[in-house]
Structure 1
Amino acid sequence: MSVISPEEKQRLITRNLQEVLGESKLSEILKTRDLKVYWGTATTGKPHMAYFVPMSKIGDFLKAGCEVTILLADLHAYLDNMKAPWELLSLRSKYYENVIKAMLRSIGVPLDKLKFVQGTDYQLSKEYTLDVYRLSSVVTEHDAKKAGAEVVKQVDHPLLSGLLYPGLQALDEEYLKVDAQFGGVDQRKIFTFAEKAFSGYEKRIDLMPMVPGLTGNKMSSSVEESKIDLLDDAAAVKRKLKKVFCEPGNVSNGILSFIKLVVFPIFGEFEIVRSKEFGGNVKYEEYDKLEADFASEAVHPGDLKSSVALVINRLLDPIREEFKDPELIKLTNTAYPPVGKAKNVILKQKTSNRKKGSFEVSLIWMLNLYKCYGPPQFPHPDADSLYLETIDFGEPSGPRTVVSGLAGLVPLDSLQNRMVVCLCNLKPQKMRGIESQAMLLCASHKSETSKEVEPLAPPTGSNVGDKVFIEGVPQVTPDEKLNPKKKVWEKIQVDLSITKDGIATWQGKNIVTSQGAVSAANLREANIS
C-alpha cells in the first residue's frame, strides 16, 4: 500500500460521518502515528445488509493505516434484555467473526491490521469487575437510563442489566486501549456519558455514522421487512427490495442512503441499468448527481431498486460462496438454531380501520401475534353466557366468526370498535352449534366468589403491520393449525400472566408492539386465558 499523508488519512477516516467528537485530537495523533480505533457489535441477530455501512467505514480506517479492533460484545448482547441466550454467546461470536471477515473480503479490504476481541475475554476479569462496582457508586439510575435511551430496550421498570449496559460500553474503550470509538449516532449519549463517568480516564475520539433501514428507519435484525440477510439468495433480495418505500422524487429513503454510504465508498460509482425504451443505462460517478436525477424523477424508483439489487448480489455472492463450507453451515445452524414448528401458536390483532396487513414474530414456543379488530359483537342466539363476534383479520377469506364466554363478565358495548388480541391457529371448535375460528384473549382473575375478566389491549399508537412480539425471542413461521393432541396452547398458557403493573408477559418477558407493551388496564397480577 502506498504511503499517504496525515491529511489524506483524516479525510478517509472522517468521510461520510455524521459527527466527529474530538477531531482536533485526531489531527494531532495522525501527525505522529496511526489511529487505534474500535467498533463494537452486540452478537444478537444475524448481521444483515446494513452492516455494510460500518464495514465500508472500517475499510476506510484500514486503508488509512488504522489499527482496528472489532469488539464482539457478547456480554452486552445478553444484558440488553437477553437478546442472545447465554448458551449461544460463544457460537454467535464465532459466526459474527466469520461473516464480518467474509464481508470485508467481499469489498477488497486488507485484514492485516484487524483483530477481533470477545467481550467476555476481559469483561469478566477482576479488574473490570471492580471498575463496574466503582461505576455503580457514581452513576445515578437517571443518568444510566438517559445514556442508554437510544440503544437499550426502554421499559417502565428496567432490569438492572439494562442500566449497567452504557457503563460497560464506556469502560470498553479504556480496556481496549484505543484512541477512538466508532458507532452510530444512537450511541452519542453513551459516548458523552463515558467522558463524564470516567473523568480520570483519557478522553476518546467518537466517530458516528448512521443509515436508515430499507423501511426508512434504522435497519434492525429483528424487523424482517427492514433487512436483507447476508445469506439471502438473489430471489429473496429482489422480493424484499420490492417492498421498500421509495417514493418518486423523495430522496429520503433507505435505498439512496445505502448507495451513498456503501456503494460509492466501495465502488466509486453506481450504474442505473434500464432498457433503452426508458433512457438506457446511466453511470454516475458522483452521488449528488444521482440524487438530483432521482429528485427530478429522471430516475424511476423501480430502476433504482433493480439496479441496487445487482450491486447487493455482487456484494453477497462471495459471502454466499464462503458459507457453502460445511463447517460454516454447521456454525450458522448451531448459532441460530431453527426453532421447531411443532409448538407454533399465532395471535392476531388488527386496528379499527380494518386495513389489511400482518406480521409475525415468535417466542420459544412460537407465540405469534398479529393485529385484529372486532366489529360489532352480539349475544350467542343459543347461550346467554356466550358472545358471537365477527372479527376481521384482514385475510383474503374475510372475517372470522369467534365465540367467547364473556357474556355477564364484559359489557357488550365495551367490546365495540376496540383493539383485541386473538389466538388464531387453534383447531376451530363448535360452541352451541356455531364454529368458533379464533380465541379472544383476556386477563382474568378468579376468586371463590367472583371472576373478573378484561380483554388484552395493545398500546396506544399501534398500527396495522406493527409487530407484536415477546421481547428477546426469535422469529419463525407458525403452523397454520396446531395439533390439538400436543396441547401446545395449554403448555404455553400456564406461563402467560399480567404483572403488578398491568403488563402482559410470557415467562417474565413483556409482550409488546413497537409502541410499547400489551396490557390490561384494570386487572393486575392476573392470568391470561
Structure 2
Amino acid sequence: MSVDGLSPEQKYELITRNLQEVLGGEEILKILNERDLKLYWGTAPTGKPHIGYYVPMSKIADFLTAGVEVTILLADIHAFLDNMKAPLDLVKFRTKYYEVLIKTLLESIGVPIDKLKFIIGSSYQLTEKYNMDNYRLCATVTEHDAKKAGAEVVKQVESALLSGLLYPGLQTLDEEYLGVDAQFGGVDQRKIFVFAEKYLPHLGYKKRAHLMNPMVPGLAGSKMSSSDPDSKIDLLDEADVVSRKLKKAFCEEGNVNDNGVLSFVESVLFPLRSLNGNTPGFLIKRNEKWGGNVNYTSYQSLKDDFRDKKVHPGDLKAAVTEAINNLLEPIREKWKNDLEFQNLTKQAYPEVEKIVKKKESKKHNQAPSINDGKPIDVSRLDIRVAKIIKAELHQSNPKSYVSTVDVGDASGNPRTVVSGLASYIPLEQMQGRFVLAICNLKPSKFQGIESSAMLLAASSSDDKTIELLDPPAGSETGEKIFFEGYGSAERNGEILNPKNKIFEKVAENFKINEEGVATFKDIPFKTSKGDVTVKTLKEGIIR
C-alpha cells in the first residue's frame, strides 16, 4: 500500500509498532489527521556504527514508509561533550562517515530516502540565538535535574565534567531548532525526553512527543556498544568475521531473556521483512533428523519454540549469521568499490586503520606482542594433560581444594595446586581424575599454600555451573595440548610473568562451543586422542 493510501490511523500504527513506549501519542494522531509528522533521530558520531544501528534504522524505515519527514541529526557537538569520546579534529570526518554509512544502510534495505535529511549539529548549535536559549535554560534547570536526565546516556565518572550537565539541555533545544513534532530514540533516552517535556515550555516553546525503542542486548548479553568489540558486529565486517562473532555470542538454550541473537531477530529481521506489506519469514535450516527446515512467519512462534528448546542455539545462530551477512553485503560492496568511502574511513578512524595494518604485517595466527617481543597467543601457554592424585579441602578456606597433581614433569615429582572449586565440584569427583593444567605460570601463594600450576575449568555464563575440562580417553599424563595452526607447546623453561597478564589475554579467546568442545578462537584443544571437552556444559567460558 502506498503512503497516500494509508489512513492517519494506519500511519500511526506503522509509526508506533514495536516501540516500547510513546509519550504524546494523542498529539501525534492529531497531527496525522492534518499533515505528515516531522520527527528527528540524533546520533553522536563517536565509535564506528555497528549492526545495532539496524534497530533504529528499521524504525526509521517504518517512519519513511508512513510519510514522516525524518531528520537525522549528526550531533558533532554532543559527541565532543560526552566525556570527549571523539576529538574535535576527527569529528568532522566521522560526521561525514556516519552520513554516508547510514544512507548506504537504508538504501541497501530498499527504503526510499527522498523525505530524509541530514543536519549537522554545529550548523545551528553555535549560533547566537541557540546559545542564548542555552543560557536561558541553564538559568532554569537545577544541577540535580540535569544530572538525573543524562544518567542513562552521558558517561558517569568521578569528578564529572560540566559538559555532561549541558548534554540534556542541548538535546532538548534540538527539538525546537529542528522544527519537529517528535523525537525518536532508545528507551535509555527516556529521562532526557521527560526533561525536555518539562523544560521546553519554560522557554515559551511547545513540548514534543517522544517515541522510544526497546534496548537490544549486545551479543555478549549486555547493551550493544561500539566500545565492546565482542558485543557488536561492525557494518563493514567480512562474512567470516560475522560468523566467528556469532559463534561466540551469548545464546543460552531456552533463554529468551537478555539474548542478543534472539532480540536482533525480533527488533530488526522481522520488521524489515514485513516492510511494504510483505509477509515476514525467518528460515531456520536444520538436518532432517532434527526436524528439517522450518519457516517462521511470526517472531512469537520462534520465541516460543526457542524457549521450549525446539530450536537449538546453533541453528538460530546459523540463520542469523546468514541474515546479517545478506544485510551487510551491499554495504561491503559499496565500500570496496568506492575509493572516496575508503579514504573517508581512514580519515575518520585512523587508529583502527593502524591496527589493521599492524595485523596484516604479521604472520598468519601470530598475535600482537608485548615488550618482550614474543606473541601473545596460546603458544605461550604450557597446557598439559594432568592427573589429580589426591585432593582435600583447604584448611583455611572451605571453598578451595588443595590437590596433589601429576603433570608429567621429568623429575617425576607431583605439584601442589590450589583451586577454588569446592563450591562447585564434590570432593569425590576430584580424586584420581584426568584434567588440564597450565604448568608455566609463576607459582603463587593462596591462603598460605604455594600453588605451582592452574587447573582449567569451564563455567556457564551465570557462573552457576563450573566443570573441569576433560581430556579424551587414552590421553597420557604430561601430554601437551596442541592447537592446529599454532606452534609447538614446548616452552624451553619459560615462566610467564604475571605482570604481563599473558594468560588473561589469551583466555579471553577460550570458549566452550555448542558441542561442548574447548576452543581457542574456534580452534579445538587437542591431544593425540582427540578433542578436549566438557561433559555437561555447552557454550561456556574457560578460566
Please, what TM-score do these two structures have when normalized by structure 2? 0.65
Alpha-carbon distance, 1:97 to partner: 0.5
> Max radius of gyration: which structure?
2
Q: Conserved in 2, the CA contact under 8 Å of 1:402 and 1:435?
A: no
Alignment partner, residue 17 of structure 1: 19
Q: Residue type matched to 1:315 in 2?
A: L
> Is 1:330 aligned with 2:334?
no
Q: Secondary structure at the match of 2:351?
A: coil
**Residue identity in the other structure for 1:171:** L
> Identity of counterpart residues, as a percentage?
59
Question: In the alignment, which of 286, 299, 324 is matched to residue 298 of structure 2?
Answer: 286
Trace 1:190-201 onto structure 2 (pairs within 5 A): 190-199=192-201, 200-201=204-205
Distance 2:26 2:56 in 1: 23
Rounded to whole Å, the distance in 2 between the matches of 1:439 and 1:260 is 44
Which residue number corresponds to residue 78 of structure 1?
80
Deviation at 1:215, TM superposition (A): 2.0
Cα gap change, 1:32/1:153 in structure 2, threshold over 3 Å: closer, same or farther?
Answer: same
Q: Which digits, 9 at most, give the CA deviation of each residue in 1:148-184, with x for residues without a partner? A: 0000011121101111111111111111010000001
Among residues 489, 497, 505, which one is paired with 1:437 in the alignment?
Answer: 497
Change (3 A) 1:2 1:62: closer
What is the distance in 2 between the residues matched to 1:250 and 1:189?
30
Report the equivalent of 1:206. 210
CA distance in 2, matches of 1:242, 1:205: 40
Task: Compute the RMSD of aligned alpha carbons.
Answer: 3.2
Which residue matches 2:234? 229
Could you tell me how far apart the structure 1 residues matched to 2:438 and 2:133 are? 60
Quote the Cα distance in structure 2 between the aligned partners of 1:330 and 1:185.
Answer: 35
Q: How far apart, CA to CA, are the structure 1 residues paired with 2:346 and 2:495?
A: 41
Q: TM-score, normalised by structure 1?
A: 0.67
The farther-off stretch of 214-223 and 63-72 is: 214-223
Q: Which residue of 2 aligns with 1:527?
A: none
1:244 lines up with 2:285 in the alignment: no
Amino acid at match of 1:256: L
User: Which residue of structure 2 aligns with residue 104 of structure 1?
Assistant: 106
CA contact (8 A) 1:66 1:113 kept: yes
- Alignment-derived partner of residue 274 in structure 1: 286
1:215-269 alpha-carbon deviations (Å, 9 max, x no partner): 2222101011110111111111111011111111111111111111111111122
Query: Number of paired residues?
Result: 380
CA distance 1:229–1:396, shift in 2 (3 Å) = farther
Alignment of 1:145-164 (within 5 A): 145-164=147-166
Structure 2 counterpart of 1:261: 267
Pairwise CA distance, 1:401 = 3.6
Q: Which amino acid aligns with 1:263?
A: L
* Matches of 2:439 and 2:180, distance apart in 1: 59
Gaps of at least 5 residues in structure 2 are 274-279, 359-367, 372-382, 384-416, 420-435, 452-493, 502-506, 510-543
- Cα drift, residue 300 of structure 1: 0.8
Q: Could you say which residue in structure 2 is the equivalent of 1:503? A: none
1:219 aligned residue (215, 219, 224): 224
In structure 1, what is the equivalent of residue 379 of structure 2? none
Task: Please give the alpha-carbon distance, in whole angstroms, between the structure 1 residues aligned to 2:224 and 2:190.
Answer: 18
Range 120-129 or range 64-73, more displaced: 120-129
* CA contact 2:3–2:65 (8 Å) conserved in 1: no
Runs (5+) with no aligned partner, structure 1: 347-355, 357-389, 404-411, 418-433, 442-463, 467-529
For residues 101-133 of structure 1, give each alpha carbon's deviation from its aligned partner in whole angstroms, at most 9, with x where no partner exists: 111011110000000001111111111111111
Distance in 2, Cα, partners of 1:251 & 1:436? 41
- SS class of match (1:316): helix
Q: Is the 8 A contact 1:103 1:319 kept in 2?
A: yes
- SS of structure 2 residue aligned to 1:183: strand
Q: Kindly tell me: are residues 337 and 397 of structure 1, through their superposed partners in 2, closer, same or farther at Cα, counting changes over 3 Å?
A: farther
